[in-house]
């Protein structure tokens, strides 16, 4: 039976998506479908809340978050929506509108063992586990929930479908347990909580999903988490293009991501020792942002010189780093190579690339500050220039681009993008393109023609997405508001 939404909810949905009355059915229709799914899966239960958590596109500031440096993402109008009600028996019961994701049920009063790697239920467990471990909800008194789940964020594409799922799950669990929370501390809790799935991610995705403001990008600083909305002029347009290469955080990509986290920690350890020797102050950190020119009150050129001297341009083995730090390889493994859950990252066959990683992170951090200024001034050309520089640094120094992403960015620039860069973790996934608003339609249709219609599978070993619905592969992002819980009553 068709379920319609109460009027007060329709108004709130309009606000959340920052949409016009004409566009409303697109969003409200989804909620209605989920109400129907809930009714058929749980016929004896009345739904109580609607939970929404958006994905994001990162405009600039890639792989800076776990180094303590800022980022500049915006939440997008692709999200997770849950229709929920409390359960009566301390279990979480999930049905998903997408049949690829099978129903999941788990109890919340016992320690939560993960499902197999890559299982969607792990992101829900990650949220519940994080909240229980922090003692926000007492395990023995915890109430579970029943949820009809719908998500339309392209997955494994650098648009943070996983974190949006974690955030929606956390809000659902807190809502049924009637636990109040503060968004900044919840974002910090969930950034740690998501490591339950095995990658050492930073805190950008959970923070923007929870704290975004409609119509704006969000500058995020870390340790402690601080956010500042930076309005996006209406004449700017940001278009996402999917490279058609899936970048799931399964074995290979997870290793490549975690490896970079470890490389940055080792670079910070070397640099902090050298700076301490030079200034006579003891600094013991594995966070590059603790060694910024502002924090050290040193000229950036001085720090750069010290870094080049202590790190050097060549790749380094753990044994090399151990000699330079005068510490055992074993202690370095424990202090810098340990991942969540205690596993130690294997040393890469081609050794660690510390100089390139360091150079990317500090230059990217500088670009984020400049990009915030450009956005505030309404200078889209300058923002685009910084995005192009960021892409080059991600490709050459951080080595997270792919042949398909390269084709996409160069085509986009030829077709009028003022800036084009990979977005998110990289290794595939999407690009983000800065376009002058009036050219958006033209840009999208030319990109469809140039990339998607002519796409050939160059390398049969890659994990491709089939070109079916172009609207989910190339689209203009609407800067949307952060996650929330709406009452259905």
Provide the annotated active-site residues.
205
In whole angstroms, what is the distance from residue 280 CA to residue 205 CA? 38
Q: Which residue is nearest to ligand ADP (CB)?
A: 151
Q: Which CB, 115 or 452, lies closer to ligand ADP?
A: 115
Q: Which CB, 133 or 317, lies closer to ligand NG1?
A: 133
Residue 258 touching ligand ADP (CB under 6 A): no
In whole angstroms, what is the distance from residue 242 CA to residue 261 CA? 25
Q: For 338, which DSSP code?
A: B
Residue 130 touching ligand NG1 (CB under 6 A): no
Strands (E), 319-448: 419-422, 430-436
The minimum distance between CB 448 and ligand ADP, in angstroms, equals 22
483, 209 in Cβ contact below 8 A? yes
Of the candidates 61, 19, 100, the one whose C-alpha atom is nearest the C-alpha of residue 218 is: 61
Residue 362 touching ligand NG1 (CB under 6 A): no
Helix (H/G/I), strand (E/B), else coil: 100: coil
In whole angstroms, what is the distance from residue 261 CA to residue 249 CA? 14
Residue 203 touching ligand ADP (CB under 6 A): no
Q: Choose among ligand NG1, ligand ADP, none what residue 65 binds, the Cβ cut-off being 5 to 8 Å by kind.
A: ligand NG1
Q: Choose among ligand ADP, ligand NG1, none what residue 98 binds, the Cβ cut-off being 5 to 8 Å by kind.
A: ligand ADP
Binding span for ligand ADP by CB under 6 A among 46-54, 149-157, 352-360, 450-458: 149-157
Footprint on residues 99-128 left by ligand ADP (CB under 6 A): 101, 118, 120, 123
Footprint on residues 39-58 left by ligand NG1 (CB under 6 A): 58
Q: Choose among ligand NG1, ligand ADP, none what residue 63 binds, the Cβ cut-off being 5 to 8 Å by kind.
A: ligand NG1
Helix (H/G/I), strand (E/B), else coil: 482: coil
Of the candidates 41, 14, 40, the one whose C-alpha atom is nearest the C-alpha of residue 27 is: 14
Q: List Cβ<8 Å contacts ≥24 apart for 94-97.
A: 94/121, 94/124, 94/146, 94/147, 94/149, 95/37, 95/38, 95/41, 95/147, 95/148, 95/149, 96/120, 96/149, 96/150, 96/151, 97/33, 97/34, 97/37, 97/148, 97/149, 97/150
In whole angstroms, what is the distance from residue 388 CA to residue 371 CA? 12
Residue 165 touching ligand ADP (CB under 6 A): yes
Residue 151 touching ligand ADP (CB under 6 A): yes
Residue 163 touching ligand NG1 (CB under 6 A): yes
Q: Which CB, 96 or 292, lies closer to ligand ADP?
A: 96
The minimum distance between CB 201 and ligand NG1, in angstroms, equals 2
The minimum distance between CB 302 and ligand ADP, in angstroms, equals 37
Q: Choose among ligand NG1, ligand ADP, none what residue 118 binds, the Cβ cut-off being 5 to 8 Å by kind.
A: ligand ADP
Residue 202 touching ligand NG1 (CB under 6 A): yes
Q: Of 158, 198, 479, 482, which lies in the binding site for ligand NG1, with binding defined by CB under 6 A?
A: 158
Q: Of 199, 285, 304, 370, which lies in the binding site for ligand NG1, with binding defined by CB under 6 A?
A: 199
Neighbours of 351 (CB within 10 A): 16
In whole angstroms, what is the distance from residue 104 CA to residue 96 CA? 9
**Quick one: tokens of 333?**
């493994």
Between strands 91-96 and 145-151, the pairing is parallel
Strand partners, 50: 83, 486
Residue 451 touching ligand NG1 (CB under 6 A): no
Tell me the site size for ligand ADP, rule CB under 6 A.
19
Q: Which CB, 142 or 165, lies closer to ligand NG1?
A: 165
Footprint on residues 266-325 left by ligand NG1 (CB under 6 A): none
Residue 169 touching ligand ADP (CB under 6 A): no
Binding span for ligand ADP by CB under 6 A among 42-50, 160-168, 222-230, 472-480: 160-168
Distances (CA, A) of 42 to 45, 46, 85: 6, 8, 10
Residue 473 touching ligand ADP (CB under 6 A): no
Give residue 231's region: left, alpha or beta (phi > 0; psi -120 to 50): beta
106, 159 in Cβ contact below 8 A? no
Give buried/exposed letters for 180-197 (b at 16+ CB in 10 A, else e): ebebeebbbbbbbbbbbb
Distances (CA, A) of 240 to 157, 217, 426: 10, 15, 14
Binding-site string for ligand ADP from residue 54 to residue 93, where x marks contact by CB under 6 A and - marks none: ----------------------------------------
In whole angstroms, what is the distance from residue 136 CA to residue 148 CA? 24
Residue 157 touching ligand ADP (CB under 6 A): yes
Residue 426 touching ligand ADP (CB under 6 A): no
Binding span for ligand NG1 by CB under 6 A among 12-20, 93-101, 198-206, 234-242: 198-206
The minimum distance between CB 20 and ligand ADP, in angstroms, equals 26
Residues found near ligand ADP in the complex (CB under 6 A): 96, 98, 101, 118, 120, 123, 151, 155-162, 165, 248-249, 424
Residues found near ligand NG1 in the complex (CB under 6 A): 58, 62-63, 65-66, 158, 160, 162-163, 194, 199, 201-202, 204-205, 424-425
């Amino acid at each position: 039976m068709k379920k319609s939404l109460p009027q007060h909810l329709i108004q709130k949905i309009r606000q959340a998506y920052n949409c016009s009355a004409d566009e409303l059915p697109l969003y409200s229709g989804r909620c209605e479908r989920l109400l129907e799914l809930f009714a058929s899966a749980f016929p004896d239960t009345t739904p109580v809340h609607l939970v929404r958590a958006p994905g994001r596109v990162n405009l600039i500031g890639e792989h800076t978050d776990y180094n303590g440096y800022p980022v500049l993402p915006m939440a997008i109008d692709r999200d997770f929506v849950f229709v929920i009600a409390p359960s009566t028996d301390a279990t979480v019961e999930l049905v998903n509108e997408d049949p690829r994701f099978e129903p999941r049920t788990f109890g919340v009063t016992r320690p939560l063992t993960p499902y197999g790697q890559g299982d969607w239920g792990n992101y829900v467990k990650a949220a519940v586990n994080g909240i229980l471990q922090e003692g926000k909800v007492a395990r023995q008194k915890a109430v579970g929930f029943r949820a009809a789940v719908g998500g339309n964020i392209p997955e494994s594409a650098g648009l943070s479908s996983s974190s949006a799922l974690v955030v929606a799950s956390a809000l659902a669990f807190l809502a049924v347990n009637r636990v109040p929370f503060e968004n900044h501390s919840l974002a910090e809790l969930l950034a740690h909580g998501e490591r339950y799935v095995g990658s050492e991610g930073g805190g950008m995705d959970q923070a923007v999903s929870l704290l975004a403001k409609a119509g704006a990008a969000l500058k995020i600083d870390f340790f402690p988490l601080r956010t500042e909305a930076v309005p996006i002029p209406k004449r700017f347009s940001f278009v996402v293009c999917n490279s058609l290469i899936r970048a799931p955080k399964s074995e290979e990509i997870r290793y490549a991501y975690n490896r970079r986290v470890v490389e940055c920690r080792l670079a910070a350890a070397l640099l902090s020792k050298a700076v301490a020797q030079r200034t006579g102050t003891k600094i013991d950190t594995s966070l590059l942002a603790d060694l910024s020119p502002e924090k050290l009150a040193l000229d950036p050129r001085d720090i750069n010189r010290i870094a080049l001297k202590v790190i050097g341009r060549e790749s380094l083995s753990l044994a090399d780093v151990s000699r330079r730090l005068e510490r055992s390889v074993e202690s370095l493994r424990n202090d810098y190579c340990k991942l969540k859950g205690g596993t130690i990252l294997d040393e890469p066959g081609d050794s660690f690339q510390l100089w390139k990683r360091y150079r990317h992170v500090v230059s990217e951090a500088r670009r984020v500050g400049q990009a915030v200024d450009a956005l505030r001034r309404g200078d889209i050309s300058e923002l685009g220039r910084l995005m192009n520089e960021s892409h080059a640094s991600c490709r050459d120094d951080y080595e997270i681009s792919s042949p398909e992403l390269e084709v996409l960015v160069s085509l986009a620039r030829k077709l009028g993008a003022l800036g084009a860069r990979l977005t998110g973790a990289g290794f595939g996934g999407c690009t983000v393109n800065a376009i002058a608003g009036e050219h958006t339609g033209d840009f999208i249709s030319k990109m469809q023609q140039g990339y998607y219609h002519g796409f050939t599978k160059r390398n049969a070993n890659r994990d491709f997405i089939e070109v079916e619905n172009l609207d989910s592969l190339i689209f203009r992002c609407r800067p949307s508001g952060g996650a929330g819980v709406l009452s259905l009553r």
